[in-house]
Amino acid sequence: MAKIGFVKLGNLGMSQVIDLIQDEIAAREGIEIRSLGTGPKMGKDEAAETEYLKKMDADFYVMISPNSSAPGPTAARELYKDVPCIVISDGPTKKDDRKALEDAGFGYIIMTVDPLIGAKTEFLDPVEMASFNSDAMKVLSTCGVVRLIQEAFDDVAAQVDAGKSGKDLELPHILAKPEKCIESAGFANPYAKAKALAALHMADKVAQINFPACFMMKDIEQVTLTTATGHEMMRAAAQLAIDAREIEKSNDTVFRQAHSKKGNIVRKTKLYEKPQ
């Protein structure tokens, strides 16, 4: 049995489903999952509280947060440096910083395509926040990010099932840029794949738009116009992702890769065929 612990510090688009993708219909045997979340906050105080999850004695842990170089996530990693742990975040993207994570014993999946929200009171309210995250999830799910992470987790869980543990586990080290993610999406139609890749590039750009609005701009017109621009781009990216999947549906070529009750992967393309 593979036991997986998920630590959620703050929120990314992927945080919504990160602890669900190993058992999507809640029927898989031989797996145990527990999650500990700190809601929207990700400071040092919240990081200290995450140590509680180590009581489950998981085979490996997954720590997801925005900006893993921030003080809170950095403090949380100190608590998990003695156990197998995969860091999921939107940064760091620089090679030397990623190498530092690897040298410290952490696995990582750095998603440049998980977009920074326009987190300014002048613009963001709970409805806008939920709408943005639903748009982000549409891109992350349809365009290959969810499946890329699923496959990475599947590989580590398979190692556990094979008897590996602790430092013997080979953890993923992935920089999930658009071109990397799209190869996990399973598109059969090249136009669908192009639309999905465009959506990923747009999601990647959203963070570059929203960053100065969140951390540098002061003028209310600049802040609100810029954050609104980022959110409009995210909405357009979500529509491209929807369009890409609709092409695959019209051709009956939607690729599905599910976990069976026993935990092995079964696949199908045609809607009416049985997964094999």
CA-nearest of 269, 254, 16, 7 to 138 is 16
Half-sphere exposure at residue 229, Cβ-oriented, CA atoms within 13 angstroms: 16
12 phi, psi to nearest 5 deg: -115, 170
| pLDDT over threshold 90, residue 107 | yes
Task: State the amino acid at position 131 in one-letter form.
Answer: S
Band of residue 1 on the pLDDT scale cut at 50, 70, 90: confident
pLDDT tens readout for residues 133-158: 999 999 999 999 999 999 999 999 99
221 phi, psi to nearest 5 deg: -70, -40
The domain locations on the chain are: 2-111+144-181, 116-143+187-259
Q: Is 111 helix (H, G, I), strand (E, B) or coil?
A: strand
- Percent of residues, the chain, with pLDDT higher than 70: 100
Contacting residues for 34 by C-beta, under 8 A, at least 6 apart:
3, 4, 5, 6, 53, 56, 58
The third-level CATH classification (topology) of the domain covering 2-111+144-181 is Rossmann fold (3.40.50)
144 phi, psi to nearest 5 deg: 110, -10
pTM of this structure:
0.95
Mean pLDDT, all residues of the chain = 97
Contacting residues for 163 by C-beta, under 8 A, at least 6 apart:
none
pLDDT tens readout for residues 197-255: 999 999 999 999 999 999 999 999 999 999 999 999 999 999 999 999 999 999 999 99
pLDDT tens readout for residues 178-192: 999 999 999 999 999
Report the pLDDT value the prediction gives residue 257, as an integer from 0 to 100: 97
Cβ atoms within 10 A of the Cβ of 36, count?
18
H helix count then E strand count, the chain: 8, 8
